Structure 1
Amino acid sequence: MMQLGDLAFGAASIGNLYREVPDDQARTVVERAWDAGIRYFDTAPHYGFGLSEKRLGAALAELDAAQTAIISTKVGRRLAPRPDADLSAVRQAFVSPEPYESVFDYSYDAVMRSYEGSLKRLRRDRIDILYAHDIGSFAHGDAHPALFREFLDGGYRAMRELRDSGAVRAIGLGVNETAVCIEMLNAGDIDIIMLAGRYTLLEQDPLDDLLPRCTARGVQLVIAGPYNSGILAKGVRHGGAIPNFNYEPAFPEIVERVGSIEDICARHGVQLAAAALQFPLAHPQVASVVPGMGSAAQVDQAIALMAQPIPAALWAELRQADLIREDAPVPA
């Protein structure tokens, strides 16, 4: 299995996610992550329409001339020219100077072109992990069956060829749902899944189906979105606005559950965000977690949260209160 390190760097923020990030700040945050020992960096053409890959590639070209870092990027969203785009506006969640927007395309040719474009932007001789980006009903609704067939016949075939030739080390999915992961495991051979938000301190349903299948097949998981869109980072007891859950305003039952978890953490002198960040890593199939890191301060915070001691009594109390599942592995 690939050794990714417990903590990974997600490069969506340096693609100007929701707001502009100056070039020097983007460089600084990558440098801080590198200096902190992080060696797995994840990006995608969609993040800033190539901007994230360009910035990550420029920084690592100096920091990692030997190309020892593990890099993952994604395919399935090709960059379409938009010469008339308003580059100062938020487009598909990014404020980017790149005159493109991303268009879903899971065809063979699109995946091959996407891979070649990523290599150039990243300034790498190879890409370690290639994920199919946002395939599934969560992103595509009723269009999913046709797109999934297009992917199996085209894009997945391209990914297999790239892996079989040694151009990439591992292939998989980068998604927000478990259903398409199971569908893919039934249909073909993948090595790794980046799963956003579905195996967290709030959600452990993958213990029923996905995680046992991954264990049986030797498929690694990378957990993105360990804070469930922010609510597990900030909590609900601070008196301010309630953070989002799963990209939307949190339902009252979610707010109540987070509050109960937060209260138990407080009784044990543990930050809610520390418990949220460390929890997924206890499962043996989880290779890494990817929290948001948009600044050097957030890198430092993630390192500190990962190192925060958590007493066994906290996990025991969460189990006793039925706030995490009895069969969920917990950190030692």
Structure 2
Amino acid sequence: MGSGGHPRGAARLGVPRRDAPGGTRLAGRLPLSDRRPDARRGAGPAARRRTRPRRPRRPPAGRGLPRVHHLARLAALVTKAGRRLRPLVPGEEADGQGFVDTPARARVWDLTRAGIRAGLDASLARLGVDAVDIVLLHDVEDRLPEVYATGFPALAELRDQKAVRAVGFGMNHSDVLARLVADLDVDVVLCAGRWTLLERTAFDDLLPVCERRGTSVVVGGVYNSGLLADPSPGAPYSYAPAAPALLARARQPGEICAEFAVPLKAAALRFPFGHPAVDSAVVGAAGPQEAAENAALFAWEIPDALWHTLVARGLLGPDLPLPLTAPGA
């Protein structure tokens, strides 16, 4: 239990902590439970301005693609809010922002109550569904005054009206996510690239407050943009080619994994689940073959000795929680 008697992330979202051989479930089947009473709701303070280091920007996820095939209710369906799509004006060109085959529309920020509702309704129409399980405000680290004033209150209203089952935020700034979780009644956060075999930032700022507040964590970017999928020259890191020193660092856990006949990708996918606040991981797939590979990697039997070796050789901090099959061993 977290402080104040609130359940930890997995219990709060109704997700069993163990669902596959030696590991926790991939992003997908999240049978959200009814929300508990929470005195924190509506208690968020006014936004405070601050200065923070800027990390490299990545292409924003999603560009409002046309209506997709109807999704069977076998998984939690998650969408974003906070930006609307409008037709291009004469002479205006679509900004793909790193995506291909993007529709001829422009994205505009709108964190008003009406904008949040309109954006969600548009997403539902494109998805061809009547409802989604989770709605996230995505990449709003530079728009916090609007988030506190109208954006998050609008999401909370949708949750109170049972229009959605859970609400939260997604971004790669774990420090900002930590602040939002501390201030607001956040059900779930999607944190990309900050809790991996190479990065522990979220362990130091975000994960403690999520465990304390009972907020579930979905980990994205477990391969750090692809570096941990294949740490060879030219591999990306934070959406740019990785520096030689970082490439060398990424190869080290791979060498240890090879000693145990475990793919580096399997270890990278499993590692985040050592922390009790982590519910799920988002792993991209370009097609059915990669989706099947992800499932196989997730089910890979990883001996506890591999994790202990990573610690012994200084590649993981001795204070980090490990996804052991025999805790305490």
Q: Going by fraction, where is helix more abundant, 1 or 2?
A: 1
- Measured at CA, do residues 46 and 245 of structure 1 come closer, stay the same or move farther in structure 2, by a change above 3 Å? closer
Contact kept? 1:91, 1:101, Cα under 8 Å: no
What is the one-letter code of the residue matched to 2:123? S
Measure, in 1, the Cα distance between the counterparts of 2:91 and 2:14. 41
Structure 1: 4+ residue segments shifted above 4 A: 83-87
- What does residue range 3-152 of structure 1 map to in structure 2 within 5 Å? 3=14, 6-8=25-27, 38-39=28-29, 47-51=62-66, 54-55=67-68, 58-60=69-71, 64=72, 67-82=73-88, 91-96=96-101, 98-136=103-141, 144=142, 147-152=143-148
RCO comparison, higher one (Cα < 8 Å, 6+): 2
Measure, in 1, the Cα distance between the counterparts of 2:13 and 2:255. 37
Structure 1 position 184 matched with structure 2 position 195 = no
Measure, in 1, the Cα distance between the counterparts of 2:321 and 2:244. 27
Measure, in 2, the Cα distance between the counterparts of 1:157 and 1:304. 40
Corresponding residue SS for 1:102: strand
> How far is 1:226 from its partner?
0.8
The two structures have a TM-score, normalised by structure 2, of 0.78
Contact kept? 1:46, 1:102, Cα under 8 Å: no
Measure, in 1, the Cα distance between the counterparts of 2:191 and 2:136. 11
Contact kept? 2:65, 2:102, Cα under 8 Å: no
Measure, in 2, the Cα distance between the counterparts of 1:40 and 1:235. 32
Q: Which residue of 1 aligns with 2:220?
A: 224
Counterpart among 162, 181, 191 of residue 195 in structure 1? 191
Measure, in 2, the Cα distance between the counterparts of 1:3 and 1:279. 21
Q: Which runs of 5+ in 1 are unaligned?
A: 9-37, 137-143
Measure, in 2, the Cα distance between the counterparts of 1:114 and 1:273. 35
Counterpart among 145, 157, 162 of residue 166 in structure 1? 162
The alignment yields a C-alpha RMSD, in angstroms, of 2.3
> How far is 1:124 from its partner?
2.1
> How far is 1:251 from its partner?
2.5
Structure 1 position 2 matched with structure 2 position 13 = yes
Counterpart among 296, 309, 326 of residue 318 in structure 2? 326
The two structures have a TM-score, normalised by structure 1, of 0.78
Corresponding residue SS for 2:319: coil
Counterpart among 254, 269, 277 of residue 261 in structure 2? 269
Please list the CA deviations of residues 280-308 of structure 1 after superposition, one character each: whole Å capped at 9, or x if unmatched.
12211111011111111100110111111
Contact kept? 2:171, 2:191, Cα under 8 Å: yes
> How far is 1:40 from its partner?
5.8
Measure, in 2, the Cα distance between the counterparts of 1:3 and 1:278. 20
Measure, in 2, the Cα distance between the counterparts of 1:130 and 1:69. 14
Contact kept? 1:49, 1:101, Cα under 8 Å: no
Contact kept? 1:3, 1:287, Cα under 8 Å: no
Contact kept? 1:48, 1:95, Cα under 8 Å: no
What is the one-letter code of the residue matched to 1:2? L
Corresponding residue SS for 1:101: strand
Measure, in 1, the Cα distance between the counterparts of 2:264 and 2:91. 41
Counterpart among 253, 258, 273 of residue 281 in structure 1? 273
Measure, in 1, the Cα distance between the counterparts of 2:199 and 2:191. 12
What is the one-letter code of the residue matched to 1:151? V
Measure, in 2, the Cα distance between the counterparts of 1:233 and 1:84. 42
Corresponding residue SS for 1:132: strand
Tell me which moved more, 104-113 or 170-179: 104-113
What is the one-letter code of the residue matched to 1:102? R
Percent identity between the two aligned chains: 37
